[in-house]
Amino acid sequence: MGSFGIPLFPEQASTFASDVDALYFFMVAVSAFFALLIAVAAITLGVRYRRRHPDEAGARIEGNLPLELLWSVIPAVITMVMFGWGASVFYHLRRPPDEAVQLYAVGKQWMWKFQHLEGQREINELHVPAGRPIKVTVTSEDVIHSLYFPSFRTKIDAIPGRYQTLWFEPSKVGRYHIFCTEYCGTKHSGMIGSVFVMEPAAYQQWLSGGGEGSLADRGNSLFQDLACNTCHLDTGQGRGPSLSGVFGKPVELEDGSTVLADEAYLRESILNSQAKIVRGFQPLMPTFQGLVSEEGLVALIEHIKSLSPQSTGPAPASPGDDRLQPTTTGASQPAPAARPPQGQQ
């Protein structure tokens, strides 16, 4: 978007880009107005009431209640308008709709790695459909990065050991920038990429061109490679709890408390397996810290999600949700032959 023909701003390419810009321009306009008002007043009054003779003394002024109230109340009202407006935009930005297309992003010195649930993996490139909300779950495998889509007016920090989410709904087909906006080392400025917003039909075609199995399938083969399936039996008779239907449900722990089985809980239970012991089970599970890459972790999580179809998304009728149906159910299924190596990047 050009302002008066000058390309000062990135294009507005998401549904909330114009909301963010409107708030931003309002704040710039208010700041510019008062900066100008104060500068003009300081200069005018300085000239008008300057000392003209060496023996002149200024008048003694004790205060002016109406004036002081005025310059307290007006800024208070203006800042509350900014706060209220900002909070409403922020709420919108921070709450992904339930029907959003989900994908994962992992930041690493110095690249962005994206994984689609359907199986496609990309580096420094991201393909998304226009006109559908997209939810990105973001983490980092080394230092703090920040995933920024300037044309969508949204960003989120990528923090090691934590899942954060952002969402956007691309409104225009095209190619837009991806930046890292958190200084993360020597090649921080080179940690850039492109997001390709495609017509939904072209996107569907692009999705079907991958052919290396869904993310959940990859998680399933990793589940077997790591021998998770030898303890986590579907029957519930294994040394570890059955993982069928676990995702999105409360889990009762040994100490009597309960925890929601979300992505963060699953991640912690894989890497720091002694942190939360499920009631009725022994703390036998080894830690998988250092043995599973960030991409492997999200694949395992998607596999576990796929064992709980109803809690992973909206009604099965919505388009594209066939990927949310359980694809395999643990031990009985043979692992797909060609599993791409994990964490090779």
For residue 84, the minimal CB distance to ligand CUA (Å) is 33
Closest to 192 in 3D by CA, of 143, 135, 125: 125
Q: Which of residues 106 and 324 has its CB atom nearest to ligand CUA in the complex?
A: 106
Q: Which of residues 107 and 119 has its CB atom nearest to ligand CUA in the complex?
A: 107
Q: Which of residues 107 and 241 has its CB atom nearest to ligand CUA in the complex?
A: 107
Closest to 135 in 3D by CA, of 163, 187, 97: 97
Q: Which residues bind ligand CUA (CB under 6 A)?
A: 107, 110, 145, 180, 182-184, 188, 191
For residue 191, the minimal CB distance to ligand CUA (Å) is 4
Say which residues have a Cβ less than 8 Å from residue 239's Cβ, sequence separation at least 6. Answer: 231, 281, 282, 284
Q: Which of residues 107 and 129 has its CB atom nearest to ligand CUA in the complex?
A: 107
For residue 184, the minimal CB distance to ligand CUA (Å) is 3
For residue 189, the minimal CB distance to ligand CUA (Å) is 8
For residue 194, the minimal CB distance to ligand CUA (Å) is 16
Q: Which of residues 179 and 203 has its CB atom nearest to ligand CUA in the complex?
A: 179
For residue 40, the minimal CB distance to ligand CUA (Å) is 41
Say which residues have a Cβ less than 8 Å from residue 29's Cβ, sequence separation at least 6. Answer: none
The C-alpha atoms of residue 157 and residue 159 are separated, in whole angstroms, by: 6
Q: Which of residues 15 and 164 has its CB atom nearest to ligand CUA in the complex?
A: 164
CA-based diameter of the chain, in Å?
A: 101
Question: Could you give the C-alpha distances from 131 to 168, 199, 292, in angstroms and in order?
Answer: 10, 8, 35
Question: Could you give the C-alpha distances from 213 to 87, 95, 229, 292, 317, in angstroms and in order?
Answer: 41, 30, 20, 19, 22
For residue 21, the minimal CB distance to ligand CUA (Å) is 24
Question: Could you give the C-alpha distances from 13 to 18, 31, 171, in angstroms and in order?
Answer: 9, 26, 5
The C-alpha atoms of residue 194 and residue 239 are separated, in whole angstroms, by: 46
For residue 188, the minimal CB distance to ligand CUA (Å) is 4
For residue 126, the minimal CB distance to ligand CUA (Å) is 15
Counting Cβ atoms within 10 Å, is residue 321 exposed (0-12), middle (13-18) or buried (19+)?
middle
The C-alpha atoms of residue 169 and residue 129 are separated, in whole angstroms, by: 9
Cis peptide before 112 (omega within 30 of 0): no
**For residues 173 and 199, is the Cβ–Cβ distance under 8 A?**
yes
DSSP states along 26-83: HHHHHHHHHHHHHHHHHHHHHHHT---STT--PPP----HHHHHHHHHHHHHHHHHHH
**For residues 207 and 41, is the Cβ–Cβ distance under 8 A?**
no
